[in-house]
Amino acid sequence: MSHYSRITDYSETQNGLLKTRADLFNEAERITERLAEIKNDVKALDKTLRLVGYDGELDAIMPRQKRNVMFGQGELLGALMLELRHAEGPLRSRELAQNILATSGDDIRDRRAVSDLTRRVSKALRTQREKGVVIGKQDESRNIQWTLRPRR
C-alpha cells in the first residue's frame, strides 16, 4: 500500500523559497555593483591609453559580444498587436514594453530592459504606422499613443 503525505502547512517550504529568493536578489545586487566597477576600470584604462599616446579606435578592438535575442522573428510584433487588440484605449510605447515584459515574466522595474524594449517597440510600431496598420498620435507630453487602425 502506498502512503501519501498529507502536508497542509507549507511554512517551511515557503521560508526556504523566500530565503533563496533573497539570496538571488543579493547576488544580483553584487553582480550589478561589480559590473559598475568593471565599467569604471575600463574607462580608466581608456583614459590612461590616451594619456600614453594611443590614438587608435578603442571600440574597434573590443571583443564581439554575444547578441541577446529576446524575441524570435515576428514575435515582438505579434505581442504588440495582441496588446493593442486587447487595450482599452491608446497605449504609449513604454506601457506596451512594460506589458510585454510583465507577460513574459520579466521584471518591469529593470529600467534598462524597459528602455531597450521601448526603443524596439517604437521602431516596430513606426514601421507598422507607415504600412497603415496602426495609428500613432502625440499627446500633450509629446509621447506617441498607439492604437490599431480600425478595420473597414
Compute the distance between CA of residue 127 and CA of residue 145 in angstroms, rounded to an integer: 15
Q: Are 149 and 133 in contact (CB under 8 A)?
A: yes
The overall average pLDDT reported for the chain is 88
What's the CATH number where 138 sits? 1.10.10.10
Residue 34 domain-assigned?
yes
In this model, does residue 84 exceed pLDDT 80? yes
Write the pLDDT tens digit of every residue in 88-117. Answer: 999 999 999 999 999 888 888 888 889 999
Residues 57 and 91 in one domain: no
Contacts 24+ apart (CB under 8 A), 21-30: none
Residue ranges making up the domain that contains 128: 75-148
DSSP state of 142: S
Residue 4 domain-assigned?
no
Residues 102 and 139 in one domain: yes
For residues 3-18, b (16+ Cβ closer than 10 Å) or e, as one string?
A: eeeeeeeeeeeeeeee
Write the pLDDT tens digit of every residue in 11-66. Answer: 888 999 999 999 999 999 999 899 889 989 988 999 999 999 998 888 777 777 77
Residues 81 and 141 in one domain: yes
Residues 54 and 85 in one domain: no
Write the pLDDT tens digit of every residue in 127-144. Answer: 999 999 999 988 888 889
Q: CA 14 → CA 17, 106, 121, distances in Å?
A: 5, 22, 37
As for how many domains the chain has, the answer is 2
Residue 2 domain-assigned?
no
Burial (CB count <10 Å: 0-12, 13-18, 19+), residue 94: middle
Residues 142 and 79 in one domain: yes
